[in-house]
A = this chain, B = another copy of it.
Amino acid sequence: MAQPTVVGVGMTPFGAHDRPLAELFGEATGAALEDAGIGVDGVDALYLGNAMGGQIEGASHLAPQLASHVGLAGVPCQRFEDACATSSNAFKHAVQAVEAGRHDAVLVGGVERCTPETGLDTAAMTTEFATAMHPQYEQPVGLSFPGVFGLLTDRHMHEYGTTEEHLASVAVKNHRHGALNPDAQHGREITVQDVLESPVVASPFHLYDCCPFSDGAAAVIVASADAADDLAGEPVSVSGVGHATDVVPIADKAEPGATQAARDAAAEAYDAAGVGPEDVDVVELHDCFTGAEILATEALGFFERGEGGPAAAEGRTELGGELPVNPSGGLKAKGHPIGATGAAQIVELVTQLRGAAGERQVRDADVGLAHNLGGDTATTVVSVLEVGA
């Protein structure tokens, strides 16, 4: 089995882009190739994440089209869609292909446009996102993503006393981090008061508890350690990837607030990497809503059940705290172009583990963890990356 590494990363700024998917993908890919010190002739395959190009932009079968756009025609190309976990699933398959010795170096790319630049306003886009709800049991009653995560978070508040102030502290932290990230969509700081005074979207979430709609792309070059030896990019080892799903619809989950798929995926990733939550130095996790970050920090084993809210409010997860979570700004401030998010988490972890994150650098970061979920927490992929392992 070959040791998979990440040898190159790149991304566009996240935000609103009046440019086609191919151009965004090309910009991120070009940066990743340059970082790796490799040309397209050294890339054996494309693993593409795009969640909703067909329904939002009338653009399906994107894998060979985007490959052609960057001069990579001919190699095997495949597109993945697993809602918001789309490009982390593409990453998983790329890692497995390199590990199995099938390919030496592959491109993982995620790209999506979700802002009004697509021609769809916020209401229409929320409806498109809601296609990930169960078609028979959830869509007919109008459930959409703020509602789903509102339900999960409400339950957590009921069981553990998590408060709206705890939630708001996650948004404040991630905006503070995002202000240090030049690629983040939201570069301005906010206060707990700002969050609590913003309009309610779906109880208990105010507007500032919710991540934005975003356009953007992220790209990652995965190569075997042997192949990486010949490349310029500083390699970061992928030491474990876990992938699990949970029952759909949400009403059938045994304990909705547990986000069981995250627990299962984390256990698999920790086991593969031979590390535990206590070894992790930096985390990029799926904070589509503030409550989702609190649930995730517990599911990943960083805090006991019910401790995630107080931990966030006490600053334990901010830069300089005991375990910095979402130094990039996370989905909340960096932005959330659905199919690009999983790949962008890997971009941030690699940047952090290389010590190249500038103002938002986490000190002594040797072990990083990415957590990317899709749908009503039904799909979760957890990846552990390491330097000097």
Which residues of chain A have a CB within 8 Å of any CB of chain B?
Answer: 20-22, 51-55, 57-61, 63-65, 67-68, 73-83, 89, 93, 96-97, 99-100, 102, 128, 130-132, 134-136, 139, 243-249, 252, 261, 264, 374-375, 378-379
For residue A68, give the distance in angstroms from its CB to the closest CB of chain B. Answer: 5
A318 to B130, CA, bound (A): 47
**Number of chain copies forming the complex:** 2
Q: Across the two chains, which residue of chain B brings its CB closest to A243?
A: B76
Interface contact B245-A61, CB-CB below 8 Å? no
For residue A86, give the distance in angstroms from its CB to the closest CB of chain B. Answer: 9
Please name all residues of chain B whose beta carbon is closer than 8 Å to the beta carbon of A379 when the two chains form the complex.
Answer: 61, 63-64, 77
Summarize A's interface: helix, strand, loop or mixed.
mixed
Q: Across the two chains, which residue of chain B brings its CB closest to A76?
A: B243
Q: Across the two chains, which residue of chain B brings its CB closest to A260?
A: B74
A111 to B257, CA, bound (A): 31
Q: Across the two chains, which residue of chain B brings its CB closest to A52?
A: B54
Q: Across the two chains, which residue of chain B brings its CB closest to A128?
A: B54
Instruction: Provide 8 A-B residue pairs closer than 8 Å at the C-beta atoms, listed in order of the A residue.
Output: A51-B60, A63-B379, A65-B134, A65-B248, A68-B247, A75-B244, A77-B379, A78-B93
Interface contact A135-B57, CB-CB below 8 Å? yes
Please name all residues of chain B whose beta carbon is closer than 8 Å to the beta carbon of A131 when the two chains form the complex.
Answer: 53-54, 58-61
Please name all residues of chain B whose beta carbon is closer than 8 Å to the beta carbon of A64 when the two chains form the complex.
Answer: 245-248, 374-375, 378-379
